[in-house]
Amino acid sequence: MTRVACIGEAMIEMSLDGDTAALGVAGDTLNTAVYLKRSAPEIEVDYITRLGSDPFSDRIKTFIASEGIGTAAIGIDPVATPGLYAITLGEGGERSFTYWRSASAARQLFADGDFSMLEGYDLVYLSGISLAILPHPVRLELIAYLKDAGVRVAYDNNHRPRLWTAKEARDVTSAFWGFADIPLPSIDDEIAVFGGDKTDARARFSTTPGLGAMKCGADGPFSIGAQVDQSYPPADRVIDTTSAGDSFNGAYLAARLQGMTQAEALRAGHDLAAKVVGCRGAIIPKTAM
C-alpha cells in the first residue's frame, strides 16, 4: 500500500458570512491530505503536526480521523493550543485571512530534531507554510533530512510573507525546487517570492528535476517536467477560492500515485479545484465532490 505523510499545521477555521461564522477545521496541507484521501481511498495518508490538549485540539484530531487520515504521528503539547484563522470573502470569491497562530503548538514540530516519524513513507508532502512556522534552524535540518532520506518529496510554495523573511522564503523555496520530486508551485506565490512575471516564473522550472504542476488559477495548470497541451474548462461558479490550490494538489497527487498520466493528473486536479471554488470553506462536503 502507498503511504503518504502530509506535514503542517491544522487550524480552527471561521468562515464569515455577514454577522455569523461557520466553524470548521482546515490548514493548507491538511486540506490537501483530505482531498488526496477522498480522491484515492486506498492510499494510506497520515497527518503530522502538533496539537494541544484543549477541546479545540480534540475537535481537530477527531475531524482528521473522520476523514480516514492517520493521527498516530500527531504530537500533543500540554500547554500550547491550535491556531485560528478567519476567512473574509471579497468580490469574485477572493478571500482574505486573519490569523491567530503565534502560540500554535505546530510551531514546535520537530523541535527535538527527531525526524524518525517520517520513515517508511513513499511520499512526504509539505508546503511553504509548513516550513515558515518553524524556527529557521529546524527548517534547515528538515531540508537536509529530506534530501538524504530516499523518500519522494512533493512541495507547494504556499507563501505567507508575515511568517518569515523574504530571504528565508527564497532560500527555502530554492532548496526545494532543487530536489523536490513533485514541485507544486502557485504562480502568484512564485512571483511574490522571486519577483518577475508569469513568463519568468514558468521559465524557472525549465531545468528543475521534478515532474509537477504550476497552478495558474482560472488559466489552468502549467505542466512542469513534461509537455502537455490540453485545455481546462472554467469553473461553473466561483463563490470561495479558499483551498483551490490545496484541492488541486490532493487530486493531482492521487492521480499520480495511482499511475495516471501527467495529462490525466493535471485534469483531475483542475476539475476538483473547479468544484471546490463553488462552495464555501476550505473543505467542501463529500457530496459536492
> Using CA atoms, how far apart are residues 208 and 223, in angstroms rounded to an integer?
12
Gap between the Cα atoms of 205 and 106, Å rounded: 31
- Rounded-to-integer distance, Cα 201 and Cα 86, Å: 30
Residue type, 85: Y
Instruction: Report how far residue 116's alpha carbon sits from residue 136's, in angstroms, rounded to the nearest whole number.
Output: 19
DSSP states along 105-137: GGGGTTTT---GGGTT-SEEEEEHHHHHTS-HH
In 3-state terms, what secondary structure has residue 276?
Answer: helix
Nearest Cα neighbor of 126 from 217, 46, 13 is 46
Closest CA to 230 of 242, 222, 241: 222
For CA atoms 30, 31, 33, 34, the dihedral sign is positive
∠ Cα 128 132 133 (to 5°): 130
Catalytic residue IDs:
246
281 near 13, Cβ under 8 Å? yes
Q: Give the separation between CA 212 and CA 210, rounded to whole angstroms.
A: 6
For cell 468580490, name the residue: 91
Record the cell numbers describing residue 98, joined without a space: 486573519
Q: Of 205, 267, 264, whose CA–CA distance to 231 is shortest?
A: 267
